[in-house]
Amino acid sequence: MKTLTLKNRFQANATLLPNDFIDNYMIDANGEFVKVYLFLLRHLDDPCSSLTLSTIADCLNNTEKDILRAFRYWESVGLLRLERDQDDRITGLELLRTAKSQKENNTAAASCPAFPAPPAPEEVSVPETEAASEPRPVAKAVPIDAFRAQKEIKSLLFIAEQYLGKTLTHTEMETITYFYDTLHMSADLIEYLLETCVENGHKSMHYIQKVAFSWVEEGIQTVSQAKEKSAVYNKNCYTVLNAFGIKNRGPATSELAYIRKWAEEYGFAPDILEEACRRTISATHQPSFEYADSILTKWHENHIRHLKDIITLDEAYRREHTSSRTSGKAKSVTRNLNNFERRSYDMDSLEEQLLNSN
C-alpha cells in the first residue's frame, strides 16, 4: 500500500491551547483572566512581538491593573512564572505547562525515548520602564485553595450585579476584589455589606466602599458583628428621626454626623436622645439638630448617663434659679426702701390746723 502524506494547512497561523487548560483551569477563571492568558499564548511564538503592560491593556480594552491581577492569578495556579528584579518589579513572563500536560509529556518521553522532549516555552519580556510605572499593590497571600477563592470572587461579582441592578464596571469589580484580597473581608461579610447598603437606599460603590472602610477600622470581621453594629445604627437613627417627626427618609450626612457624635462619642442611649429631641421640639417647635446638640453637649459635660440623672440636674437648676430669683427680689425691695425720700413734718402745726378747721 502506498504511504499517505498528511499535510495540515488549516492549522497555519494558529494558537495551540491545551485541553487540560479548558477542562481544569478555564472553568474556574475569571473571563478577563482567560483573555489575558490566550493573548499571551497568541504572542508566544511571534518573534516580532513587543509586549508591554500598556499594549496588552489597550489590545484587551482593560486597565494595566487588570493585566497585573491576571498575571498574579495565573501565577497562583501554576501556569505562569513572573520574573522580578530586586525592586520587585515585573521584568518577564514564562508560561508553564499545565499539570496534566506535563505529566503526559513525561510519560511519553519515558515510553518513546527516541523522540526529543518538546522545547521549553519561550519568554515574553515586559520592558522594565513599563513595569515600573505600575506599582504592585499589597495583597494577602494566595489562599491554599485558590480555586475556591476565585469562585467566591466570581460569586460576589454576580451577587453585586443582582443587588445593584446593573452590569459592573471594571472599577466596581476592582473595588469588590479589593475588599476580598486586601481588606481581608470574607465573602459572607461582603455580601451582607452590599445587602445592607442597598436596603438603606445606597447603590453608589463610593458609599459602599466608605462603609467597608469604617467596618475595617472598627474591627468588624463577621456578619454577626456587622449586624450588631447595623442594629445600633438603625435604632439610633430611627429614634432621632421619629422624635423629630421626620418620616420616609434616612438621615442626611450632617444629621448622621450628629447622631454618631451623640451615640458613639458621648455614649448616650436612645432614651436620652429621644428626651433631647422632645425638649428641642418643645423649645423651637421644629426639628433642630443644632439645638439638640447644645442640650446633649451640656448633659455630656454634666456626666449624664440615665434619665434620672436628667431629673436630678433639672431639680438642681430649678433650686438655683428659684434661690437666685428670691434673692433678687429681696435685694430689689431693700434697694427701693433705701431710695425712699424721707420727709419731716411739724406735728404741732398740723394739729392746730385740724382744730381750726373744725
Confidence of residue 57 (pLDDT cuts 50, 70, 90): confident
**What pLDDT was estimated at residue 133?**
44
Residue 117 has pLDDT above 70, yes or no: no
Question: CATH 1.10.10.10 spans which residues of the chain?
Answer: 19-132
Ranked by mean pLDDT, the top range of 57-61, 126-130, 287-291 is 287-291
How confident is the model at residue 328, as a pLDDT? Answer: 60
Residues present in the chain in total:
358
Indicate the pLDDT class of residue 127, thresholds 50, 70 and 90.
very low
- The whole-angstrom separation of Cα 180 and Cα 82 is 23
CATH number, domain 19-132: 1.10.10.10
Question: Residue 93: in which H helix or E strand, if any?
Answer: strand 90-95
Say whether pLDDT at 313 is over 80: yes
Measured N-to-C along each axis, helices 289-301 and 253-260 cross at an angle, to the nearest 10 degrees, of: 10
With 90 as the cut, is the pLDDT of residue 193 above it?
Answer: yes
From CA 38, how far away is CA 16, in angstroms rounded? 10
pLDDT for 326? 63
Nearest residue to 54 (alpha-carbon basis) of 45, 43, 67: 67
Whether pLDDT at 43 is above 80: no
Query: Is residue 179 predicted with pLDDT exceeding 90?
Result: yes
Please name the residues in contact with 250: beta carbons below 8 A apart, sequence gap of 6 or more. 200, 201, 237, 241
pLDDT of residue 301: 93
Q: What CA–CA distance (Å, rounded) separates 308 from 107?
A: 84
pLDDT of amino acid 275: 93
Cα(292)–Cα(261) distance, integer angstroms: 12
What pLDDT score does 157 carry?
Answer: 92
Does CATH place domain 140-221 in 3.40.390? no
- DSSP letters spanning 260-329: HIIIIIS---HHHHHHHHHHHHHHHSS--HHHHHHHHHHHHHTT--SHHHHHHHHHHHHHHHHHHHHHHH
User: pLDDT tens-digit profile of 209-234?
Assistant: 988 998 898 889 999 888 887 777 77
Look at residue 238 in the predicted model and tell me its pLDDT: 84
Q: How far is CA 197 from CA 194, 201, 210, 249, in A?
A: 5, 7, 11, 14
Lowest mean pLDDT among 129-133, 259-263, 324-328: 129-133
Q: State pLDDT tens for residues 79-115.
A: 888 888 777 777 788 888 765 544 454 444 444 443 3
Mean pLDDT computed over 326-332:
61
Residue 311 is classified by DSSP as H
> What's the mean pLDDT in 320-342?
62
Nearest to 44 by CA among 152, 158, 108, 121: 121
Predicted pLDDT at 135:
44
Average pLDDT, the chain: 77
CB 251 within 8 A of CB 284: no
**Residue 197 binned pLDDT confidence (cut-offs 50, 70, 90):** confident
